[in-house]
Structure 1
């Protein structure tokens, strides 16, 4: 059996000794191969570097290789991300990569994690040893499965502490890459009469009963594999990414609350491209408006002043000491509905495989009668706008008298998806 190949990205002009130590530790057991790629700014001559930075740039053009060292730091990083991403993606598509690792400071971490995010799909091992791994790392990881290991000391010369951490990192990426490699070999020899459908569902705390009922129904009656995504911004981004990577076959987008945060300024936005991946992929999609009755903020005193001091001009609900929810107004609900309708109309390549279900009995656990966010006027603005803006689009919109967490609504959503899946297969 061929050994797994681990790509080692190193800024060799500043971190050569540390990178070579990490390479040595990975190779020591003799169970994997390493491809060392120099992503540093200045050329380094060393026999153990498999692809130099100038060779990397030359893959684009000889002129790029000549100009690399003259570029300002920000431009060098931008261009090297492009070169390295192209190389790593090409090797992955050829089935030659089973893991990727690096050890770097702030600039190198920014460069390497961008390559990891852009070149490789979710599932392949990615490990970054970094001085930046203790703090706000969202911009490094985003919606991917990059593993960060804090270097504790600066990566500026080998020493006992750093060497132990790099040795641990070598063991971690070696183990992960070996298991990944074996799993792919096992998949290649496995025999299956019918591949399982992979179904994505979006969930929030206030839509959990709905999602649990859907998941149970689909697993029990159809044997589908269910992937639940917590609609916290990163969750929505992760789902969109996996759809683009063709790792999901259908979507029950029950909880679209991230759109409210994107438009109104909450802390759990999934960005402006939310709702595009499934529509563009043309896969079966059921969409609802779960938790669109709320915008998410941190503790109460973090609610922006535009809503009044500590949100005094708005209806707030403290979900817990760290999370404050703000009820969406009729105008905001119309804006949310406009966003959803535009995304679906502009991007759906198979409108017949998209269906919108509106739970008129309540869009979350706290928006039903007697609950704090019950507001029929706001809900009506959401429902009416979606219906009117999707009229003539080929996308079916249905109202259901139940609340989103009613088991009847959940089963209806699940069975509606089954109908779309059958339609797609016919």
Structure 2
């Protein structure tokens, strides 16, 4: 019988959590109540008490009692470790939680530690607006509580009942997966779509499953997380535009660790400076004043692109080269010398020979192999060359452990 962890603060949300637990039990599944409260005594006796949760990280609840911030942080870390252990031991098949700000922070911290595909549902007062701080790069389902998670009423009972049904359905769902093939991850953007679409069939025909990540900040972080998980055989990182957003303060930065996971994992990687000609911002009227007077391209009403200049391109090329130098596995940098995006080609809005040359020269400061290819990034010839280079690196034997 599947078991679902009902995680939450049983001192303040005990009745609500127990309502959900009963609905799950009535659906024919077992329940494991996990208390992460740090206030008064729980109103419902949990199966795993808060002391046991805190003990996973040797936290002393008496020491941090009264400091809400420390309590939330500590119980989030502790719950993450506990749930991971429960999943590894096969003791739970899904997790659900209810909460406001603090409870949501604790529960989603724990959920982010769990594997992609493991059922996780958060009913929260915070499930509106920007929930990226709670979801991160994981597949957490955020369900709005509509009313506050503060008692049972005609609205909350409906929401909690549906939430219980949803997590039971997620756990019971028959999940089909393809036959195991070694995975290659690839980065893509609207300005490099044709390139990846041309490269993908080459890799698939060689027996690989290709997973594509959109280089929008979250996509880059998700790709880095998957690489770090050990599930990836090779990387076709042709769209490194998130580095430009990190440098210029754009809205699609993937953070300072972009291009780091594959370096540590030591897996075959092909890198290109795809879309490093642009940093991404929101609507035109949100563009920082410091970029007024620069070469700007209005991609759509909510996306404004700023062309990277010579100095910025030199810095980006140096950054890419430095990251590549850290790779312990085989890596090749490929440069499409005629255009690094659709709009940097000759005659297009972001065509800038001097900026591109500064970028390319800085990249060639890397100690790793650099190949210049006389093509635009979306030319089939470049896509074929990049895909075949990755297959060559994979053939060196670094991917054998994945097959």
Q: Structure 1 length normalisation: TM-score?
A: 0.90
Does the CA-based 8 Å contact 2:10-2:42 persist in structure 1?
no
Q: 1:384 aligns with which of 361, 372, 392?
A: 361
Instruction: Report matched runs for 1:33-52 at 5 Å.
Output: 33-45=30-42, 48-52=45-49
Alignment partner of 1:290: what SS?
A: coil
Q: 1:349 aligns with which of 314, 317, 328?
A: 328
* 1:59–1:371 Cα change, 3 Å: closer
Alignment partner of 1:25: what SS?
A: helix
Alignment partner of 1:154: what SS?
A: coil
* 1:158–1:47 Cα change, 3 Å: closer
Residue 168 of structure 1 is matched in structure 2 by 162
The CA deviation at 1:46 is 5.4
Does the CA-based 8 Å contact 1:54-1:66 persist in structure 2?
no
The CA deviation at 1:115 is 1.2
Residue 247 of structure 1 is matched in structure 2 by 231
Does the CA-based 8 Å contact 1:55-1:65 persist in structure 2?
no
Alignment partner of 1:260: what SS?
A: helix
Distance in 2 (CA, whole Å) between partners of 1:383 and 1:232 is 23
Q: 1:77 aligns with which of 72, 78, 90?
A: 72
Instruction: Report matched runs for 1:194-205 at 5 Å.
Output: 195-205=180-190
Deviations 1:32-82 (A, max 9, x none): 222111111124345641111122223444x714334x2400000111112
Alignment partner of 1:363: what SS?
A: coil
Residue 137 of structure 1 is matched in structure 2 by 131
Residue 177 of structure 1 is matched in structure 2 by 171
Alignment partner of 2:364: what SS?
A: helix
Q: Which stretches in structure 1 are left out of the alignment for 5+ residues?
A: none
Distance in 2 (CA, whole Å) between partners of 1:238 and 1:226 is 15
The CA deviation at 1:239 is 0.3
Alignment partner of 2:121: what SS?
A: strand
**Count of aligned pairs between the two proteins:** 399
Distance in 2 (CA, whole Å) between partners of 1:149 and 1:130 is 6
Q: 1:125 aligns with which of 110, 119, 125?
A: 119
The CA deviation at 1:244 is 1.1
Q: Is 2:60 aligned against 1:64? A: yes
Does the CA-based 8 Å contact 1:102-1:127 persist in structure 2?
yes
Does the CA-based 8 Å contact 2:11-2:42 persist in structure 1?
no
Distance in 1 (CA, whole Å) between partners of 2:20 and 2:231 is 32
* 1:59–1:138 Cα change, 3 Å: closer
Q: Structure 2 length normalisation: TM-score?
A: 0.95
Deviations 1:132-158 (A, max 9, x none): 101121111121111100011111110
More helix by share: 1
Distance in 1 (CA, whole Å) between partners of 2:198 and 2:340 is 16
The CA deviation at 1:217 is 2.4
Does the CA-based 8 Å contact 2:189-2:239 persist in structure 1?
yes
Distance in 1 (CA, whole Å) between partners of 2:124 and 2:44 is 25
The CA deviation at 1:414 is 0.8
Deviations 1:328-387 (A, max 9, x none): 0011011111211222223x122xx11100000100001111111111111111110010
Q: 1:157 aligns with which of 151, 155, 162?
A: 151
Q: 1:98 aligns with which of 67, 76, 93?
A: 93
Q: CA RMSD in A?
A: 1.7
